[in-house]
Structure formats: C-alpha cells, structure tokens
A and B are shown apart, each in its own frame.
Chain A
Amino acid sequence: MTTTAPPDRPLADERPAVQLSPGEPAVLVDHIARRFGNRPVLQDVSFSVPPGVAFGVAGANGSGKTVLLRLLATLDRPTTGRIAIHGYDSIRRARAVRDRIGYVGEEPMLYDGITAEQYLQFVGRARGLGKEVRQIAVDTLLTVVGLNDRSWREISVFSPGERRRLAMAGALVHEPDVLLLDDPLRGLDGFARLEQIEVLRELHHLGSTMVVAGTRPEDLLEVCDSIAILRGGRLVWTGGQADALALAMPQQSDAARIRVEVLDGLEAGMTLLGQRRDLRELEVDEDGRTIWFLFTGDQEALAGLLPQLIRAGCTVAHFGVEKRSPAAALARLFHE
C-alpha cells in the first residue's frame, strides 16, 4: 500500500530559490587571512566563483587548502577579510550559508557504527526532510554514488573510495547550491579514482557550483573550469584550462622544451648543460634521472648536444623535444 500523504518538507520548498543578481558570484573570498597564533596559514587570498562553475584549488600539502575550505564551510573564522556564499556573509549569516553548502572534508565525516542507509537517513532527518522525500533522496543518492547494493552494510567495512562517495552523498541530501570538496580523490587509485572523477563531472554537468581542493592538478583539470594555485597560504596563480595550457608552453616562441633521460652520469651531464648559454630553466625531476630544459639554440646545435652528453659520460636513454603537460606546469608552481 502506498501513502499519499504530503511529505513533511519537500526538498527545496523552505529555502528561497537562489536569486543572484547578474554578475554576483556564488562564492566570494575577499582578502582573507587566517593565523594560528603567530603562524600565518592564509594570507590575502581573494577570488570569486560564478554560479555553476567548478573551481579547483591546488597546492602541496600544508599550503592552506583545508583551512580555506573550512573557512568557506563556516567551520572556522577568518582572522581578517570577508567570505560570502550567495551573498550571505559567512560570519553574520553562518546558518544561511550552511543551508546552501554541501561540504566533504579531507577525511569523510561518517559514523562507523551505522549502515550507509541509516547515515543518509540521519542526515536527511537532521536537515528536516519529510519521510517520503527523505527516502527518495536517500535511494537516488545511493544510486548516483553507486552504493545502492551496499546500503545495508555497516560503514566500517567500506573501502576508502566508498567512504568518500557516501560522504559526498551525505553532502548532497539537501541539494546544496555550492559544493565544497576537500581533496575528494585522496587515497583513491585506479578504478576508484576514475569512478570518483566521473561522479564529480556528473555533478558539475548538473550545474553545481563547486570548489574542489586537491594536491594533483591533473585531477582538478579533469573536473574544474578554472584553477588556483595556493603556495604557502597565498594564491600565486589563477586561470582556466587555456591558461594552464599556455603555462605549459615555452615562454619564448623559438625555444624548444627538451627532455633527457639519463641512466648514468647525471652529474657530468648537468655540468655540461650548465655551462651552455643556449639553454634555460635547467632542472632535474624528482626521479633523479630526467633532465628538463628550454633550448634556444638552432637545430644544428641541438643535434650536436646528444653526442656531447655521451662523450661526457652520460648513458642516455631518451633525448627529444617534449611538451610539458598543463598539470606538470601547474605542479611546478607549487614550489617555485
């Protein structure tokens, strides 16, 4: 028998529809700083995210991404500056902001002692959703994140990927206008990573405004429209996909990016290359055997470079002109 009683609270009836004035950003971060004691964690960070845009914040561990997302989620207070979500000030109208955001932290916020279904029911109940609407939301979200066949399993037996997907489902129960995801691909590899990226893309296509933090620019480039690089608590670069691509290109039009993979004799090779005036940006990858540089000389000089390296004592496995990927170019900004 089915009941026809109206639900206690439809999903979005009590919340006024999002009515942003033209040009008003969904997320506004205005010169914020955050200090813990005397230690500055964020300094003069400003950006804005238009509605429907996925914005990525990339940075190395300890760069301040988590603190930034916690500030956006009203779980912490900026020392100076202002944050507004859909026009609501994060300090004075924290409750209104919380009603409009879905936040998934670095570690999924879950209760191990209950099942996935019970967890989502709890979140829906706490959000004040009626029984019918809640059940529909829970069933739909479990399907969206691919956990419908594990809904009655205890959360404690879930894999890291499943935990992340469940936490994301929990953040979506009340249909938030803005999604804040802190390193949603952390600890995932292989198929779980691809699945999670698919879920994020799907959410983006559905029109969610998203702020996604992560340590791997290549993941953010898969999902986000624009990306900011955070280094030492400061935003050092902001741009879109095209900007990231341009960043990967050599700065001089007549320069070629060269990759040399050396199996032996790295020091001798570096000494030789370091003495030349027709190359710039000489660097070695973390693997300790890949050398990158920009070569500004002519084709003849480039052709003579390989024999010189071999004569200097290098065992060269690869020598060629290469394009740096946009992700690698962005990753370089983490430390430069």
Chain B
Amino acid sequence: MPLIGALVVKEFQTWLRGRLTFAAFTLLVILVALLVFLLGLLILAPDANAAPALFSTTSTTSSNILVANRAIFLFGAVGLCIILASAIVAPSVAASAFAAERQRGTLDLLLLQGPGPVRIVLGKVLAALIFSLLLLAVGAPFFAPAWSFGGVQPDQVIALITILCTATLFFCALGVFFGSIMSGSLQAALFAQGVALFVLFGTLGLELAFLILAGNDILKPLLWLNPFLALLSGGGSATDAFARGAPAAYRSVLSLPAQNWAPGVLLPAWVIGSLCWTILAVLLVLASAVAIEPMHPLKVRRR
C-alpha cells in the first residue's frame, strides 16, 4: 500500500504547515469546552430541580434521575458534543482536501502514480480520519469529571470510541465522495456536512415527524444510522437513565433495542450502527473511485 502511506504522510505535512489548521484546532477546543461547560452547569447544578432533564417536557419528574446519574449524563453529553464536532469537522477536512486536489490539478498526479483510484480515495479517507480523530482528541479531558463521579462502565467507553471512530470514518468517506464529484472545496464541504448533520438530526426529526403527524413508524430503520441514538442505546444504566429522562411517548423511538441477528448473538444498536457506517464508508470509497477514474469501465456507455 505505498500510495496510501505516502498520501497520509503528505497530507499531514501539508496540514501541519498551515495556520488554518491551528486556527481550526483552537476553535474546536473552545467550542467543545463551551458546550461541555454549559452542559456541566445544567447537569452539575447544586439544585437539581432547577435543571431540566434531557428530553423532558417538565422539570420535576427527572430531577432524581439526573442527580443519581450525573456521571452517565455528563459522559453522554460530552460524547454527543464530540460526535457533533466530528460531523462538522471530518466531512469538511476530507471534502476540502480532496476537492483541493482537483483544483490544483494534483488529482491527475495521484492517478498517474499507478496503484489505482481505490487506493487514492482510501489514502485520502484514512488521512482525513486520523487527522479528524486527532482533532477530536482535544475533547478527551472533558470526560474527566464524568469519570471522577464514577458509574461509567468500560463497555460504555468502548461503545463511544467505536461509534466515534466508525461514524468519523463514514463522515470522512462522505467528504471524499462529495469532493470527488464536486469541483469546489466549499461546495463539497457544505454538501458533506449537510448529509452528516442530516444523519445526526434529520433522521431523528423525520422519524418523529412521521410518527406524530402520520402515526406510522415507516422511517424507523433510518434511526439505526443515527450515532446519537446509538450512543444513547449503549445499554446498561446509561440507556435506562436516558430513556427514563425522555418523555414517555418518545421512549420507544429514542431507544433502539439490541437485535437478535443470530442464535444467541445480540447486537446492540452501537454495533449495528458501526457496521452500517463502515459498510456505507466502503461503498462511498468505491463510488468515489469510479468518479475519479476516467478509464473506468462503468463510464464507457456514458460517452
């Protein structure tokens, strides 16, 4: 895989020289810190009654849940913030890096190196993934308060890391895909971010809208793609806490039960979600490879 390694090294050499990277890095630290601070204020408020529970329409029913599960709520809240940051950062990093290759004409240079378009796309996705995860690592210290309260289980940490890695992989693949079919960096980044944010908020919004307005559950499968819900459906005390915090009418929507995919094998939502994002990322990589290869057999009939 010489081209992939060379691409990853080259991307880092380019990114780490630009002032923009450090500006984005600083901005991200400030943004995540602010979000965590605000959520911390709500969750760690001395008078828990003053803090509205997540997803609750009343402030009185959830106070005990909130107080009893401060660590879980804080852990989940920081996790959600970082996933949100990933949905914003990863697609734009990947899309702009790829579209910039087009604008500079260096995509031709990469194509001429020989190993094929799939490796070019894969190299770009991996470089963007590593870079995005390094950027998102700035959120790690914000988990310290949650950890210090106790109650966060190792499997929840594993679930969060898996979700973050696979969802970021999917977001990077989205960015590279839009970068490969659009010529402008900004345009590609905005489209990729739009789709990523739709996966976070749009899927949930559509399902709730259909459920409330039409009374049917037809869009429920879309929720398996939602990283927020995958995290909240992590199982154990976290899931219980979040489910109890939500209004009763929405609990069935917000909780994605583990699925029995094979005898004796229960797959929780975060595993299913992670598999889905990885498969989608692979499909996007293949589609991008077709898009950038002028000699691909699929393009013969179009001309």
Residues of chain A having any CB pair with chain B under 8 Å: 73-77, 79, 90-91, 94-95, 98-99, 101, 103, 105, 107, 109-114, 118, 122-123, 125-128, 154, 170
* B294 at the binding interface (Cβ < 8 Å): yes
**With a CB–CB cut-off of 8 A, which chain A residues contact B112?**
73-75, 98, 101, 103
Query: Can you show 13 pairs from A to B with CB atoms below 8 A apart?
Result: A74-B294, A79-B303, A90-B295, A94-B295, A95-B114, A101-B112, A109-B106, A111-B10, A112-B104, A113-B14, A122-B6, A125-B3, A126-B2
Chain B residues within an 8 Å CB radius of A105: 105, 108
Assign chain B's interface to a size class.
20 to 34
Contact status A74-B10, CB under 8 Å: no
Q: Is the CB of B13 within 8 A of A113?
A: yes
The residues of A that contact B13 with a CB separation of less than 8 Å are 113-114, 118
Given A90-B295, A95-B116, A109:B108 Cβ within 8 A: yes
Across the interface, do A77 and B17 meet the contact criterion of CB distance under 8 Å? Answer: no
Mostly, the B contact residues are: helix
Indicate if the CB atoms of B113 and A123 lie closer than 8 Å. yes
Bound: A127/B6 CA distance, A: 9
The residues of B that contact A75 with a CB separation of less than 8 Å are 108, 111-112, 294
Is B209 in contact with chain A by the CB < 8 A criterion?
no
- Kindly identify which residue among B108, B113, B294, B295 contacts A126, using a CB–CB cutoff of 8 Å: B113
Chain B residues within 8 Å of A107, by CB? 105
Question: Is there an interface contact between B295 and A103, defined as CB atoms closer than 8 Å?
Answer: no
Residue of B nearest to A9 (CB): B2
Q: Are A113 and B9 in contact (CB under 8 A)?
A: no
Residue in B2, B9, B115, B295 whose beta carbon sits within 8 Å of that of A77 in the complex: B295
The count of A-to-B residue pairs whose CB atoms sit within 8 angstroms is 79
CA distance A185 to B169 in the complex (A): 43
Check B105–A113 contact: CB distance below 8 A: no
Docked complex Cα distance between A125 and B110 (Å): 12
A75-B111, A105-B108, A110-B106 as given contacts; A126 in contact with B14, CB under 8 Å: no
The distance in angstroms between the C-alpha atoms of A73 and B104, with both chains bound, is 17
**Inter-subunit contact A114/B14 (CB<8 Å):** yes
> How distant is B172 from chain A, measured CB to nearest CB, in Å?
20
B221 lies within 8 A of chain A by Cβ: no
Check A127–B2 contact: CB distance below 8 A.
yes
Q: A126 and B17: CB pair below 8 A? A: no
Cα–Cα, bound, A99→B115 (Å): 9
- Specify which chain B residues have a CB less than 8 angstroms from the CB of A77 in the assembled complex: 294-295, 299, 303
Does B53 make an interface contact (CB < 8 A)?
no
User: Do residues A74 and B295 form an inter-chain contact, with CB atoms below 8 A?
Assistant: yes
Pairwise interchain contact A127-B114, C-beta atoms closer than 8 A: yes
In the complex, chain B residues whose CB is within 8 Å of the CB of A94: 295
Are the CB atoms of B3 and A126 closer together than 8 Å? yes
B5 proximal to A (CB < 8 A): yes
Q: Is the CB of B114 within 8 A of A98?
A: yes
Asked if A128 and B2 sit within 8 Å, CB to CB, the answer is yes
A75 to B106, CA, bound (A): 12
